[in-house]
Amino acid sequence: MSTEISKLLSHVLRHAPERLGIVLDANGWTSVDILISKAQEKGFAIDRPILEGVVAGSDKKRFTLSEDGQLIRAAQGHSVAIDLGLQPSDPPEILFHGTAEDNLEPIMAEGLKPGTRQHVHLSLDEATAIKVGSRHGKPIVLKVNAGEMQRNGFVFFRAENGVWLTTHVPPVYLSGPGKDNERQ
């Protein structure tokens, strides 16, 4: 049950609010009460305790409730245009990106691009990157020279759930299988 609700929340809060007929404000927030009501109208078994349980139980902290508990939003990963209100942050020297082995050649040619999302997602550790990559096929992990990128003018943000975000990672800042030219 909670997996179904988690997937629903991810889909509507990141990509398709119109699926339930909800509206996201400029920062991605929507009313918890309206979200629950609209989801129930569509046949989903959800109420406030279930929603709060999904938010609290999300291992990746995908969702954020406002301090008063009246609003909810996805922490990151949006394909709809929203401003999370994140401030630029100083990244660690190295971050990681997990992907499928089949994606390596185009990534090394073009860099990491956000695709349908607003940002490229980067992890603090290799283990998380492996989990992300395994969702897409045989996983590989790329190292991102984030510190050097920032010194060269690239901006980084840290989402509420700890995921690091940037708009693009050119190939010169990547190292990994087939490209071990780490530039530290």
Q: What is the pLDDT of residue 178?
A: 55
One-character DSSP codes across the chain:
-HHHHHHHHHHHHHT-GGGTT----TTS-EEHHHHHHHHHHTT----HHHHHHHHHH-TT--EEE-TTSSEEEESS--SS-----PPB----SEEEEEEEGGGHHHHHHH-B--TTSSSEEEBSSHHHHHHHHHTSSSEEEEEEEHHHHHHTT---EE-TTS-EEES-B-GGGEEBTTB-----
Regarding the domain delimited by 94-175, which CATH topology (the fold level of the hierarchy) does it fall under? Answer: ADP-ribosylation fold (3.20.170)
Average pLDDT over residues 153-169: 92
Q: What is the pLDDT of residue 107?
A: 94
Higher pLDDT, 161 or 129: 129
Given a cut of 80, whether residue 1 has pLDDT beyond it is no
Q: How confident is the model at residue 135 (pLDDT cuts 50, 70, 90)?
A: confident
13-60: per-residue pLDDT in tens?
Answer: 988 999 999 998 988 899 999 999 999 999 999 999 999 998 888 777
74-117: per-residue pLDDT in tens?
Answer: 887 777 777 778 899 999 999 999 999 999 999 999 999 988 78
Given a cut of 80, whether residue 180 has pLDDT beyond it is no
Average pLDDT over residues 152-165: 91
Average pLDDT over residues 68-72: 93
Structure tokens at 55: 């938010």
Q: How confident is the model at residue 184 (pLDDT cuts 50, 70, 90)?
A: very low
Contacts of 17 (CB under 8 A, 6+ apart): 23, 24, 30, 80
For residue 64, list its beta bridge partners: 73
Q: How confident is the model at residue 162 (pLDDT cuts 50, 70, 90)?
A: confident
**Which residue has 């918890």 as its token pair?**
32
Question: What is the pLDDT of the chain when averaged over all its residues?
Answer: 89
Q: Domain coordinates of the chain in residue numbers?
A: 2-74, 94-175
Q: What is the pLDDT of residue 158?
A: 93
pLDDT > 70 in the chain, percent: 96
pTM of this prediction exceeds 0.75: no
The CATH number of 2-74 is 1.10.10.970
Structure tokens at 43: 């046949």
Given a cut of 60, whether residue 181 has pLDDT beyond it is no
Size of the chain in residues: 184
